[in-house]
Amino acid sequence: MQLAHIPLDRLNISALNMRHGKRAPDLSDILPSVRARGVLVPLLVRPNGSPESFEIVAGRRRYFAAKSLADERGKADPLPCAIMEAGEDADALEASLIENVARLDPDEVSQWETFSRLIREGRTVPEIAGTFGITELQVKRILALGELLPNIREAYRRDEIDTETARYLTMASKAQQKDWLALFADPGQYAPRGYQLKQWLFGGQSISTKVALFAIEDYPGLIVSDLFGEESYFADADLFWQKQNARLPPSATPVWNTVGAR
């Protein structure tokens, strides 16, 4: 069995799925959990005649819940999947995955405490992923909560901070976190949340490393990684544009705008 995160558009329902059908099932019981925490239990999939596509053997409702969430937010996160190999029994494999994930504490801060303790004891990210039947990326995302100030982590544990906001705060420097926490603690101030927080962190524009015309290793500033969106961004927009425009031909007009920014 191989664990991986697979984009939604590379997944489809297998004819072997007991609840095979194109109509979305009732998701009222699981959608709130998926909306709050994402899909935790990996879907069981197998190759579908192409290395780029997979069919879902088990996890149809999780798939439709993720699609529903993608429609709400306008973006689709890759789903954790267990890729079956020839001869593997789907029922036994799914039961094992569910049992392992059920052993995890329900909230992400408690999971971070567990994973951090295991890291201190010498366990590696792949070993932790194998123990709990989740992907290495899921483990890294939980460990990223260690970048948060303790007061922010505790507020997140108490559900005073939503998941999207907490995840963006893992990209913030300690100084930015302190500034944000001061706003959050002051009832007379507004602490940006969600996508507004992302804009606040990057001074109005978050520029992906994908749009750079120069070699990333030549950039002298800080690059911030977003484990949850699997992107990396330039922390200093002005420094980025200096490097970017330096790579333009002499006859070209400098492009001081936000192309590639989000």
Q: What is the pLDDT of residue 181?
A: 96
The mean pLDDT values, 10 residues at a time, for the chain of 262 residues are 90 66 73 84 86 86 91 88 84 79 84 92 91 89 93 94 91 92 94 88 76 80 70 75 74 49 45
**Region of 5 on the Ramachandran plot (φ > 0 left; ψ -120 to 50 alpha; else beta):** beta
Q: What is the pLDDT of residue 125?
A: 93
Tell me if 56 sits within 8 A of 63, measured CB to CB: yes
Tell me if 216 sits within 8 A of 233, measured CB to CB: no
| Count of beta carbons in the 10 Å neighbourhood of residue 94 | 20
Q: What is the pLDDT of residue 80?
A: 92
Question: For residues 243 and 247, what is the distance between their CA atoms, to the nearest angstrom?
Answer: 7
Amino acid of residue 118:
L
Hey, what domains does the chain have and what are their CATH numbers? 2-102 (3.90.1530.10), 148-201 (no CATH)
Q: What is the pLDDT of residue 116?
A: 94
- Print burial letters for 104-125: b (CB count within 10 Å at least 16), e (below 16): beeebbebbbbbeebbeeeeeb
Amino acid of residue 98:
I
